[in-house]
Amino acid sequence: MSTVAMFVHPERPQAIALGETIRHWLDKRGHIVLDSPASDNSIDLVVSIGGDGTVLRSARLAVDSDADVLGINLGEMGYLAEVEPDSWEVALESYFAGSHLIQERMLVASRVDDGPLLHRALNEVVIEKQAVGHTIRLSVHIDGAFFTSYVADGLIVATPTGSTAYSLSARGPIVDPSHQALIMTPVSPHSLFDRSLVLRPDSTIEITLSGGRDAALSIDGQRETEVAVGQKVTVTASQQPARFAHLGGRTFHQVLKAKFGLSDR
């Protein structure tokens, strides 16, 4: 018997209906079913029903419980939610039979100045402008040494998992999610140096908003807080990874090929 938390996209009728079906299936087999993850280390599995955005939110919560995440894809891309809606029963049976692998994916943690609140992201942390038509100035230190200043729309620090998200649209590299790395990519910089940096996972990146107007700190696409001129955002790898249940389906490279429509020749 396992304790399973359901994390369902609240605005998709198909997700809500499928969630009820899966809840009934789990109940019949004696599993304890909760409405959402909780940070009490009592959850074995989080079933996420929606798109990749739903998986992002559920995975960040699952980390606190050291729970596995199984994503059922009702979205478009499906990088993270690898189970299709018509395969959920086979997937859950395989999981409870132990016929799965656990793939750990790194998260990044960030804080503003020396504040105690850590914002964790599975995809990326972004410091970005708020005012249309204005840039911001960001001074970057890596492992305590000054690197450079960017006048740009923003700066992305992504994980390998996030390398196929916002970072990719800013011309960042695609990195296999099994790797450990911090990927720093400027957004529309006013500079000849507009390349990404792939840094060691134990690097510390300090980003100071040194000019322009106030900015926003976004975590996995959701704005978390405002960053005022003079404040510093510190980004490091999180000590706790997210644990994804992998059922031996398509590899990352096969998913990438399918999503981008790459040919067979």
pLDDT value at residue 39? 54
More confident residue, 221 or 193: 221
pLDDT value at residue 40? 56
Q: Dihedral sign, CA of 214, 215, 217, 218?
A: positive
Assess whether 132 and 208 both reside in one domain.
yes
Host domain of residue 162: 108-237
- Other beta carbons within 10 Å of 199: 17
pLDDT value at residue 38? 60
pLDDT value at residue 181? 98
Assess whether 20 and 131 both reside in one domain.
no
pLDDT value at residue 41? 58
The number of domains in the chain is 2
CATH of the domain at 168: 2.60.200.30
Asked, for residue 11, whether it belongs to a domain, the answer is yes
Asked, for residue 253, whether it belongs to a domain, the answer is yes
Asked, for residue 265, whether it belongs to a domain, the answer is no
pLDDT value at residue 2? 92
Asked, for residue 84, whether it belongs to a domain, the answer is yes
Assess whether 99 and 167 both reside in one domain.
no
CATH of the domain at 39: 3.40.50.10330
pLDDT value at residue 256? 83
pTM metric for this prediction? 0.92
Assess whether 61 and 90 both reside in one domain.
yes
Assess whether 81 and 180 both reside in one domain.
no
Report how far residue 107's alpha carbon sits from residue 111's, in angstroms, rounded to the nearest whole number.
14
Assess whether 146 and 215 both reside in one domain.
yes
Assess whether 254 and 167 both reside in one domain.
no
pLDDT value at residue 238? 95
Assess whether 92 and 149 both reside in one domain.
no
pLDDT value at residue 4? 95
Assess whether 256 and 215 both reside in one domain.
no
DSSP E strands, the chain: 3-8, 32-34, 45-50, 68-73, 101-105, 108-112, 119-121, 124-129, 136-142, 145-152, 154-158, 182-187, 197-199, 205-212, 215-219, 222-227, 232-237, 242-246
**Which residues are identified as catalytic?**
52
Residues 6+ apart with CB under 8 A from 152: 135, 136, 138, 186, 187, 188, 189, 190, 191
Reported as a single tens digit per residue, the pLDDT across 29-67 is: 999 999 876 655 589 999 999 988 999 999 988 998 889
Token couple for 261: 């429509």
pLDDT value at residue 114? 86
Assess whether 134 and 174 both reside in one domain.
yes
Assess whether 179 and 218 both reside in one domain.
yes
Asked, for residue 212, whether it belongs to a domain, the answer is yes
Report how far residue 204's alpha carbon sits from residue 200's, in angstroms, rounded to the nearest whole number.
9
Reported as a single tens digit per residue, the pLDDT across 167-205 is: 999 999 999 999 999 999 999 999 888 899 999 999 999
Asked, for residue 67, whether it belongs to a domain, the answer is yes
Assess whether 233 and 112 both reside in one domain.
yes
Reported as a single tens digit per residue, the pLDDT across 86-142 is: 999 999 999 999 988 999 999 999 999 988 667 899 999 999 999 888 999 999 999
